[in-house]
């Protein structure tokens, strides 16, 4: 039989590799030669001491080499997983393959087989429509002589377990073969370069093999844990690209298609960003809402609830689809003449993501202050859509309070060259915030404190690399405590002022404020990244309590960005991150104050493991007070639901867990 594993040509393909492995193992296992005794020297105490010293040095060097090899192994493993993740993501997004979140090579082969017209059953049995299943099992791997199974076009896939059961000769090829060399069972033709990269693949690791064999079991272990738990509504954020820069709805059919998918997933509502840079784009106090009126009417057709974001920030093009949205053009024109209306770093670089809080009460925007601009925008929205508020269609308003709509300084802007896990930079060097700093220093009686720290590093510095944030650094000096308290207080003043005006506009509507998850550098004493973001939260200070007290004053819903990514191993050492501890600090502090809490996923969370972490946070299992999220905002990838990049059964499972109504026949995609 040409496709049998006992075929001579197949063994000929394997033999060079098996011999290489055997030669390598025999060389490694050969005992070292006995040490040679030095000639011409007697066994004096000095010689013995010298020999002992050399042995100790050799042992220490060997230990260091072992440690280095462990680190290199960790890095290789991370590299393997990253490559596999990118390959699978590309197949999902560009090849429209319905691969599960924890896919393996068997799923890829099965998808390819189905694409080629084969039938792949649940147990891995693969056959053409005209071939009976009983006959197909005789040719599980039809490898032709001298030809790769993939290139032959007539391969069939089965699960790893089925393959091992059906083909026991795989283990009899060579007992010394490593897990990586078992790839030759499936791929028999490789050049030296391909072999090198194949060895780095995470598909060859024993850990991945365990994941493959248990992936169908794990989801069901969690089903009973969330059945009957409190109902947490799920809202999905709509893509930004449906509204163009002239506030026109450009793709109503695409909107209906996306909403039909969401309706089929049983989501409770959608979230729409109302961009200041689109609505008041060209002239001050000239608001254009036509595109949003058309969008809201379509959403109402599907009987979904609506949350609206007052987006007073810019969109960099990666946050919500491919759209790039600036601040209003008339604001940018003012900024050319008076660049101090924008946040500024120590080197004088202007950040145009949002307006500086220093102009909240400065009439520099064509005769209006920053507060008046925000108030007029919110009032125009309420007036335009008063009918939607009257019928209860708008369930909540999220007020943007900083960069990315989150309550923070724009200290982590990619436009300025920042990349994770850099500590960021203080954004207080425009003339208006500097005036406030000089006033605060004068009231304190230390006028020479009216300056920003000059040793706080750069955007991508690490805490130990700066004199301000390092262990026992200047952040905990008298000047450091004064500066950080003032810096955080400016954030609190801004929150209080904006929410006070929002309360006048939306009298009976719930407000939402989004708190960022600045979890890197959390394991340091200074918490440097949180300090530059505006939260005075070092290890000896609770920086979130003053913020939550103000939010309690206005009875807002606190929406916390939740990271579903586990941070372990080498990443902990590199980033000093602790997302879980930060999240629970904020959640417990908010619940202790009686605040309503909601959640939102980060853009990196789209797999089963990340979903389960978020569900555990949304519905704490061991909380005697039965706290849970009031709702959850799901941020989708750009055009993910349209292009098929999101696994619908995976998202369906997540929504059903949030709703507390898991069905028994639900299986992973």
With a cut of 70, say whether residue 617 has pLDDT above it.
yes
Q: Residue 623 has what pLDDT?
A: 76
Residues 6+ apart with CB under 8 A from 320: 237, 239, 240, 241, 273, 638
Q: Residue 103 has what pLDDT?
A: 72
627-645 pLDDT, tens digit each: 999 999 998 865 444 444 4
**Of the candidate ranges 219-233, 328-342, 472-486, 651-665, the one whose mean pLDDT is the lowest:** 219-233
Cβ(532)–Cβ(419) below 8 Å: no
Q: Residue 20 has what pLDDT?
A: 52
Q: How far apart, in whole angstroms, are the C-alpha atoms of residue 200 and residue 285?
A: 59
Question: What share of the chain has pLDDT > 90, as a percent?
Answer: 51
Torsion of CA 190, 192, 197, 199, to 10 degrees: 80
262-279 pLDDT, tens digit each: 999 999 999 999 999 999
With a cut of 50, say whether residue 99 has pLDDT above it.
yes
Q: Residue 374 has what pLDDT?
A: 97
Q: Residue 36 has what pLDDT?
A: 52
Q: Is the pTM of this model over 0.85?
A: no
Mean pLDDT for 78-101 is 70
Neighbouring C-beta atoms of residue 165, cutoff 10 Å:
12
537-584 pLDDT, tens digit each: 999 899 999 999 999 999 999 999 987 666 665 666 678 899 989 999
**Of the candidate ranges 45-49, 168-172, 366-370, the one whose mean pLDDT is the lowest:** 168-172
Specify the pairing of strand 350-355 against strand 342-344.
antiparallel
Q: Residue 68 has what pLDDT?
A: 80
Cβ(421)–Cβ(575) below 8 Å: yes
With a cut of 90, say whether residue 60 has pLDDT above it.
no
Q: How far apart, in whole angstroms, are the C-alpha atoms of residue 268 and residue 233?
A: 6
Task: Give the residue with greater pLDDT, 309 vs 621.
Answer: 309
Residues 6+ apart with CB under 8 A from 537: 527, 530, 531, 543, 544
16-39 pLDDT, tens digit each: 444 554 454 455 445 555 555 444
Task: Give the residue with greater pLDDT, 355 vs 214.
Answer: 355
Q: Which two tokens stand for residue 652?
A: 């369906």
| Strand spans (E) along 332-488 | 342-344, 350-355, 394-399
SS3 439: helix
Q: How far apart, in whole angstroms, are the C-alpha atoms of residue 296 and residue 473?
A: 52
Cβ(167)–Cβ(5) below 8 Å: yes
Does an H or E element contain 306, and which? Answer: strand 305-311
With a cut of 60, say whether residue 132 has pLDDT above it.
no
Q: Residue 641 has what pLDDT?
A: 45
Q: What is the mean pLDDT of the chain?
A: 78
394-444 pLDDT, tens digit each: 999 999 999 999 999 999 999 899 999 999 999 999 999 999 999 999 999
Mean pLDDT for 159-167 is 39
Q: Residue 94 has what pLDDT?
A: 62
Cα 555 off chain centre by: 29
483-539 pLDDT, tens digit each: 999 999 999 999 999 999 999 999 889 999 999 999 999 999 999 999 999 999 999
pLDDT confidence of 50, banded at 50, 70, 90? Answer: low
Mean pLDDT for 123-141 is 55
With a cut of 80, say whether residue 205 has pLDDT above it.
no
pLDDT confidence of 448, banded at 50, 70, 90? Answer: very high
Q: What are the residue ranges spanned by the domains of the chain? A: 72-113, 234-659
SS3 406: coil
With a cut of 60, say whether residue 161 has pLDDT above it.
no
Q: Residue 618 has what pLDDT?
A: 92
108-118 pLDDT, tens digit each: 888 787 777 77
- Residues taking part in catalysis: 406, 600
Q: Residue 461 has what pLDDT?
A: 95
Question: CATH second-level architecture of 234-659?
Answer: Alpha-Beta Barrel (3.20)
Q: Which two tokens stand for residue 167?
A: 């083909």
With a cut of 50, say whether residue 197 has pLDDT above it.
no
């Amino acid at each position: 039989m040409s496709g049998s594993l006992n075929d001579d040509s197949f063994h000929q393909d394997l033999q060079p590799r098996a011999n290489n492995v055997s030669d390598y193992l025999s060389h490694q296992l050969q005992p070292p030669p006995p040490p040679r005794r030095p000639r011409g020297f007697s066994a004096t105490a000095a010689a013995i001491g010298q020999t002992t010293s050399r042995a100790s040095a050799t042992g220490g060097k060997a230990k260091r080499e072992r440690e280095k090899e462990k680190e290199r192994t960790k890095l290789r493993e991370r590299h393997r997983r990253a490559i596999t993740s990118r390959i699978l993501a590309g197949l999902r997004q560009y090849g429209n393959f319905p691969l599960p979140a924890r896919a393996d090579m068997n799923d890829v082969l099965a998808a390819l087989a189905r694409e080629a017209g084969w039938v792949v059953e649940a147990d891995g049995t693969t056959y053409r429509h005209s071939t009976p299943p009983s006959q197909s099992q005789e040719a599980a791997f039809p490898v032709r002589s001298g030809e790769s199974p993939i290139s032959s076009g007539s391969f069939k896939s089965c699960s790893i377990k089925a393959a091992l059961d059906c083909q026991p000769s795989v283990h009899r090829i060579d007992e010394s073969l490593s897990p990586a060399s078992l790839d030759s069972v499936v791929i028999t033709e490789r050049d030296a370069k391909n072999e090198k990269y194949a060895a780095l693949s995470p598909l060859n690791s024993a850990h991945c093999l365990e994941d493959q064999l248990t992936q169908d079991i794990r989801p069901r272990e969690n089903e009973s844990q969330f059945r009957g738990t409190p109902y947490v509504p799920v809202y999905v954020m709509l893509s930004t690209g449906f509204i163009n820069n002239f506030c026109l709805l450009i793709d109503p059919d695409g909107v209906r298609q996306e909403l039909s998918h969401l309706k089929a997933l049983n989501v409770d509502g959608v979230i729409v960003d109302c961009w200041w840079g689109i609505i008041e784009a060209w002239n001050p106090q000239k608001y254009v809402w036509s595109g949003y009126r058309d969008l809201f009417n379509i959403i109402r057709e599907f009987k979904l609830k609506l949350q609206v974001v007052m987006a007073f920030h810019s969109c960099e093009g990666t946050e919500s689809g491919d759209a790039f949205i600036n601040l209003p053009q008339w604001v940018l024109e003012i900024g050319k003449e008076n660049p101090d209306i924008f946040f500024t770093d120590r080197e004088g670089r202007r950040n145009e993501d949002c307006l500086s809080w220093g102009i909240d009460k400065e009439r520099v925007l064509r005769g209006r202050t920053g507060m008046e601009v925000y108030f007029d925008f919110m009032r125009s929205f309420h007036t335009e859509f008063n009918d939607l508020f009257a019928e209860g269609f708008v369930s909540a308003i999220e007020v943007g309070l900083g960069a990315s709509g989150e309550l923070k300084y724009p200290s982590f802007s990619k436009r300025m060259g920042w990349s994770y896990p850099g500590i960021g930079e203080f954004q207080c060097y425009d003339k208006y915030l500097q005036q406030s700093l000089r006033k605060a220093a004068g009231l304190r009686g230390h006028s020479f404190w009216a300056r920003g720290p000059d040793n706080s590093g750069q955007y991508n510095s690490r805490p130990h690399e700066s004199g301000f944030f390092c262990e026992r650094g200047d952040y905990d000096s008298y000047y450091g405590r004064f500066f950080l308290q003032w810096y955080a207080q400016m954030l609190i003043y801004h929150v209080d002022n904006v929410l006070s005006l929002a309360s006048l506009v939306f009298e009976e509507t719930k407000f939402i404020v989004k708190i960022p998850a600045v979890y890197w550098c959390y394991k340091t004493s200074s918490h440097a990244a949180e300090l530059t973001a505006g939260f005075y939260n070092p290890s000896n200070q609770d920086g979130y309590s003053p913020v939550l007290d103000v939010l309690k004053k206005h009875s807002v819903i606190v929406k916390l960005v939740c990271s579903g990514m586990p941070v372990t191993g080498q990443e902990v050492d590199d980033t000093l991150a602790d997302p879980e501890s930060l999240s629970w600090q904020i959640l417990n502090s908010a619940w202790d104050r009686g605040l309503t809490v909601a959640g939102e996923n980060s853009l990196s969370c789209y797999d089963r493991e990340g979903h389960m972490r978020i569900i555990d946070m949304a519905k704490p299992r061991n909380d005697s007070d039965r706290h849970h999220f009031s709702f959850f905002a799901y941020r989708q990838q750009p055009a993910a639901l349209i292009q098929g990049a999101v696994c619908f059964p995976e998202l369906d499972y997540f929504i059903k867990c949030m709703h507390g109504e898991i069905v028994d026949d639900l299986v992973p995609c």
